[in-house]
Structure 1
Amino acid sequence: MKKAGIIMIIGCLMLLGLFKFPLWNIMLGAPQYPDPLGMNIFIDGIKGVKEFDIQNIDGINHYIGMKKIPKPDQMWEFSVFPIVIGSMVALGVIIGILGVFKKVSPYWFLGWLGVMAVLGILGMQDFNNWLTEYGTDLNPHAIMKMTYPDGTPMTYKPPLFGHQKMLNFNVDSYPAAGAYLMFFGMLLTLVAFFLGIKKSHKKQLL
């Protein structure tokens, strides 16, 4: 159980990477922008990949009636997510330490992973809802009013994952370094669970 507990601790600590690295990345490329514009989504705010990317994206969006990219204090998620991640890291480390000293069973590792997975799914759903609102709640007095062939107003929801063509822009949306660190950390907690179970079964056979 000692090795399983240590792996559990390491896995949980990897989530601290979310405080440093972006969780998601969205890039916009077009003929007039040979150097694509991009924004990195962190757990505490949205930043441009380059210094003036956010300003340029807001400028483009203004013409088609999209809102400005929100500041950290304009979305409750940017205040809550750091607290949630920090709390889950602390809880996971405590469970891992208890595992090292054989005070809890490996199923506590699995329980932590289950809670983290549910929180991750809820977070992705919330992110997708924001993208939907961001791309569909348009200013009716916008300078440019684009429509689909049937006459309905065009929407500009960026993809949650993958590539999408919007007007003359190619939009790519993919996980960033923080998401990969989180995934690998959660994978380590699963490894810790199976290692702990294997160790427990060996003891029962002796």
Structure 2
Amino acid sequence: MKKAGIIMIVGALLLLGLFKFPLWNIMLGAPQYPEPLGMNIYIHGIEGVEEFDLQNIDGLNHYIGMKTIPKAEDMWEFSVFPIVIVFMVVLGTVIGLLGYFQKLNYKYFLGWFLLMSVLGILGIYDFNNWLIDYGSNLDPNAIIKVTNPDGSPMSYKPPLIGYQKLLNFDVDSWPHLGGYLMFIGMTLTLVAFWAGRKASLKPTTQ
């Protein structure tokens, strides 16, 4: 169980990368922008990839009636998400230490993974809802109004993940380094579970 406990601790600690690196990235490219505009989404706020990217994106969005990109204080998520991540890091580290000293069952490693998975799914669901509101809740008095072939207002919702064409913009939305570190960390906790299970099946004490 010692090896499994160490792997569990490392996996949980990798989540701390979310405080340094972006969780997600959205890039917008168009012929009039040789250098694409982009935003990096952290668990504590949104920043432009380059200095004036957010300002330029807001300027473009104004013409089609989209709201400005929210500041950290405008969304409760940016206050809650850091607390959740710290809690999961501490919980995972404690579980790993107790597993290392054989004070609890290896199944707690899987319990942490399942809890983190549920929180992750809820976070993705919330993020997608924000994208829907951001791209669909438009100012009716906007300068430019574009409709679908059936006459309904066009939605400018960026893709949750992947590529999408929005008017003359090529939009890419993908996880960033923080998101990959979280994925690796969660995967390691599954490895810890299997390592702990394997150790528990051996006839000798680990």
Q: 2 CA distance for matches of 1:149 and 1:193?
A: 52
Q: 2 CA distance for matches of 1:31 and 1:51?
A: 20
Task: Describe the superposition over 1:108-161 as per-residue Cα deviations: whole angstroms up to 9, x where unpaired.
Answer: 000000000000000000000000000000000001011112211111000001
Q: 2 CA distance for matches of 1:125 and 1:92?
A: 23
Aligned to 1:194: 194
Matches within 5 A, 1:146-157: 146-157=146-157
The Cα shift of 1:204 comes to 6.9
Aligned to 2:109: 109
Unaligned runs of 5+ in 1: none
Amino acid at match of 1:180: Y
Q: TM-score, normalised by structure 2?
A: 0.98
Identity %: 70
Amino acid at match of 2:47: K
Matches within 5 A, 1:36-185: 36-185=36-185
Q: 2 CA distance for matches of 1:113 and 1:150?
A: 45
Unaligned runs of 5+ in 2: none
Q: 1 CA distance for matches of 2:203 and 2:188?
A: 23
Amino acid at match of 2:52: F
Aligned to 1:12: 12
The Cα shift of 1:203 comes to 2.9
Amino acid at match of 2:154: M
The Cα shift of 1:30 comes to 0.1
Q: TM-score, normalised by structure 1?
A: 0.98
Q: Secondary structure at the match of 2:25?
A: strand
Q: Which runs of 4+ in 1 moved over 3 A?
A: none
The Cα shift of 1:107 comes to 0.3
Q: 1 CA distance for matches of 2:16 and 2:59?
A: 34
Q: Secondary structure at the match of 1:40?
A: strand
Task: Describe the superposition over 1:3-56 as per-residue Cα deviations: whole angstroms up to 9, x where unpaired.
Answer: 100110000000000000000000000000010000000000000000000000
Q: 2 CA distance for matches of 1:51 and 1:122?
A: 31
